[in-house]
Amino acid sequence: MAKKLSIIELHSLIVCKKPLLFLLDYDGTLSHIAPTPDEAVPADGAVDVLENLVGKKEAVLGIISGRPLKELKKFIPIDGIIFVGAHGAFIETNRGDLTSIVDVAEVNPSITEVHKSAVKFTDGKSGFLIEDKKVSVALHFRLADDKEAEAVLTNWKNEIKPLLKKNKLELHYGKKVAEVRPQGADKGVAVNYIIENFCKKNDYPVYIGDDTTDEDAFKVLKKRGLTILVSDVERPTSAQYRIENPDDVVELLKNVADDLE
Ligand SMILES: [Mg+2]
């Protein structure tokens, strides 16, 4: 269980470790959870504080999300941030170069099959939203009837099972979303990749995230950084600390930014 700390307590734990590498999830961390992915705009003040942080010599900034890069950059239109989309499958460096930890051409045909299957089982049903991200497929069911969602997920899971095994794909669950993506494309792998490729040795990683997909990153950073879960309730997690919501995240970032050069 993560220890709940005040913004002031977290601020002092973080500031003394500068220079910092901030690694932030987007949905539920920099934005409040919304009924559909399109409506999840940044929390009040989030874009301003990120813009402030990216200008600091003592901070490197990365945003790590399951979303495609294009969507992330639409919500956070700031240069100089390392953007990681589709859980590490696509990375845009802080110099604007594009790279990937997944072989997109190899993965794409099987993902297309997984996508077709999701379309088939949700056809004619309301409240489902399918995202095809080339290297992953997300099936959102926040607005669907609970029972219907359960039935759709069971059917989908059964049909794609052989496909997943054969093509080294994995099914993961998040907040009202099920997602199929390649093995080895998780936020923990993405965090290691960023640390190895874009950081100076003494940059201290601070990771903030709210969902099950962030747990991979929490685990990777357990002994070498500071990890914060965003949640208004206690829950099992590998994160060390907890704050309540995206507004707290913005407040914390503001406080830390004030003490960086
Ligand atoms: Mg999230």
**8 and 78 part of one domain:** yes
Q: What is the mean pLDDT of residues 192-199?
A: 89
What is the 11 CA–ligand 1 centroid distance (Å)? 21
pLDDT tens digits, one per residue of 38-66: 899 999 999 999 999 999 999 999 999 98
7 and 96 within one domain: yes
CB atoms within 10 A of CB 134: 17
For residue 173, what are its two tokens? 């669950």
Cα(99) to centroid(ligand 1), Å? 22
Collapsing DSSP states into helix, strand and coil, what is residue 102?
coil
Q: How far apart, in whole angstroms, are the C-alpha atoms of residue 85 and residue 94?
A: 14
For residue 211, the CA-to-ligand 1 centroid distance in Å is: 5
Whole-number Å distance, alpha carbon 16 to ligand 1 midpoint, is 27
To the nearest whole number, what is the mean pLDDT of the chain? 93
* Tally of domains in the chain: 2
Task: Tell me: do 197 and 234 sit in the same domain.
Answer: yes
> Which CATH number do you get for residue 137?
3.30.70.1020
Give per-residue pLDDT as tens, 101-124: 888 888 889 999 999 999 999 999
Task: Supply the CATH number for residue 15's domain.
Answer: 3.40.50.1000
**Beta strands at 90-92 and 82-85: parallel, antiparallel or unpaired:** antiparallel
* CA 31 / ligand 1 centre spacing (Å): 8
Q: Round to whole Å and give the CA distance between 261 and 258.
A: 8
Q: Of the residues 181, 206, 229, which one is the last residue of a structural domain? A: 181
Q: Give the three-class secondary structure for 208.
A: strand
CA distance linking residue 247 with residue 251, whole number of Å: 6
Q: Which two tokens stand for residue 86?
A: 């589709």
Q: What whole-number distance in Å separates Cα of residue 234 and Cα of residue 153?
A: 27
State whether 16 and 85 are in the same domain.
yes
Query: What's the domain range around 135?
Result: 104-181
Residue 62 shares a structural domain with residue 176: no
The reply to whether 162 and 80 lie within a common domain is no
The predicted structure's pLDDT at residue 174 = 85
165 and 200 part of one domain:
no
